[in-house]
Every structure is written in C-alpha cells, then in structure tokens.
A and B are shown apart, each in its own frame.
Chain A
C-alpha cells in the first residue's frame, strides 16, 4: 500500500471481529490514516488484499456505504445548520436511518438539538460528527483520531459515547495516538509504527509485557541502587530480608513498572530507529 513515491505502510495484516472495538494505535505519521482511508474506500492501494464487510472498498458501491459510518480526522460541519438539521440532511442519504432523536441522545447532545453547529464547542461538534456517522445505523464505524485536541473532560465524555456504541453491538475501528484511549476503549489493540505493525493484543496482553520487567530502587550507603527484575516479588523479598538481617533500612525504596505508555513509546521508538 503506497502512494506517491514512498510506501506509507507495508506488510500490515490484521483482522477486526464483528462487534469489537479495535484500536489501531501509533504515533503521527505511522501510516494510520493511510490504512484507514484504504479501508474506507477513499484511497486506492498499490498492493495487497483488503476486505471490509466482505467487499473490496476500492470497488464497493452504495449498498456497502449503507453499512459503514465514517468519522474523519478533520471534518468540519456546516456551520449554519443545527444539530437536528445536520443529522436530518444525512438521514436522507440512507435507506433506513436511525431516528434523529435517538442519535442525538446517543451522542449526548440533548438540549443542543436546535443549536447551529458553529455555536457548539469542539467536543460537541465532534460528537455531532459521530452522530452523522451513526445516522445510517452502520454495522461498522471508523473513527480516525477522534479526540485529538480535546481537553481531558471532553475526552472522557467522548469515551462514554464510544463505550455506548459497543453496547449497541457496533464494530468500531478506532485510530488513535493516545495509549490511554486505546486502553480504555478497545477490545484489541494493534500498534503500528513507521508503516509496520510492532505489537498486537488485548490491552491486558500488552499490559503483561510491562509486568515482566520491574525496577527496584533504593539507597545504600548513600549510593543509588537500581535492580531490574522480572520477578519483583522474589527479588524484593531477598533484598528486604537481607537488609533486616543486617539491621539496616533500605532508604527510599520503590518498585516501579513501566506504564503502558512507556511500553508503547519504547516499541514505536524502536521501529522508527530501525527504519
């Protein structure tokens, strides 16, 4: 899959199960948007096979578009249409749209229905954007970096909306560069860096990686001691046992584990160096 002169992504291979929230995680420029645009049918690939809901997006037609919803990374709204009108316009494009009021409630914009898009906050506009992608009652929803530029409270509200979609049984393909977002929302995570997949699994699987290595730090005789271990409980037991036997304290004792964020940064940094 490439465009222009450089190959943006290559040799990537993944499956998304019906009804799951699948996070495609990676830093900016990793090839996330290229991949998602190929899946959405916006971009033609130069090689490889792609099947979305049983069809090749490159050749899929109107009936296929009835079954998907797309939230673009950047997609402003018509500033002069209200929430209800924006949804009404899009509802007309689909054969069997969801009721507009239901969608307004789904994205938490009750009370804003008659407000014009330009009067909404950034987070509210984004939720309307999701509403417009949901109005056709799609089986599969694409969300491309939906919370970039959000403040923490807007991000949390948005996450609640996405969590609600899972309960509706929608399949969600989420691209993001926020580890926390993937961790919070996704059933499965695939990490991409420099156009290649560097890790995949459930957030818990990826979390296990971290539990394998812990760092124990303390001071002894004024010196900083750092012990890296994959069996922190055992190691700690030995260290504290020995210290007690000597009648000493382990000053400033702490056990730390790399956060999922650290694991992610390490993985993606390695891929970028290896490029």
Chain B
C-alpha cells in the first residue's frame, strides 16, 4: 500500500461510515413516513387510546365511595399513561391500586397507570381502579355517568361508564 493511501485510509473509512449512516438514517425516515398511524389524523393519546367496558360499581345507600373500571387500549407506537380522571359528582377522584400480598389486601394511591405502546392497561377489581371519593349521590345500577380521562400528554377523553353491581 502506498503511503498516500495509507494516510488517506482513516478519511476514507470515516466518509464510508458517514455515508452508510446517512443511508441508514434516510431509510428509517422513509419507514416512519410510511407508517399509516402517524399519517392519519390521530395525534394525541386521547385519539390513540380506545376505552372498553367503562363501568362504575353501584353503591350501597350511604356509601360515598366507589370504584370505576375499564380497559384502556393504546393503538400507537408511543407509550402513554392515564394521569387523572374527573367526575362532576365526586369531590375527589384518585387512581388507586389494590394488591394482595400474603393474604393481605392493600390499597394505595398511584400517580398514573401506564398504557404501553401497542399495549393495554386493565382497570379491574383487585387491581387498578379509579376511586370516586365523596359521591354526591348513590350510584344506581342501570344508570350511566360521564368520566373525563386525562392522559400523560394532557389530552382528554370522556367516557360513559355504566353503573352496575359488577357481579358475575
């Protein structure tokens, strides 16, 4: 190998690497552009996330707390989270998690429920639930209440939750 080529080798390698990298990058961009989801209207969590089976547990007379449950499905490549819920008929709404450890049922307040990209989060008895605290009226089976969900990107979605006894 002549001295010139030897001297130029690092430069050649560098240029090739940059070139390859650039090519690689452009393919990625092209693929991203092809992705149908980003091309269509959905731009935020509220549009990407679908809610199924929203429901509220009917309350006993005088009972001023209840739980709301639902399944949140994230149809996007981005992970989101449910960060808060509001309901006009409750003084406070919180997100709680029930867990069982050595036969002990424990409930704790959590700041959010993660909804993974192309995944889902299930709010169900014995797990995550929305805690409606300080209910102004009884939750009667057969009625429906509007809940407003707020996601991690501050987008919001309202759902009609059916009130039921949540038995078998």
Same complex origin of A and B: no
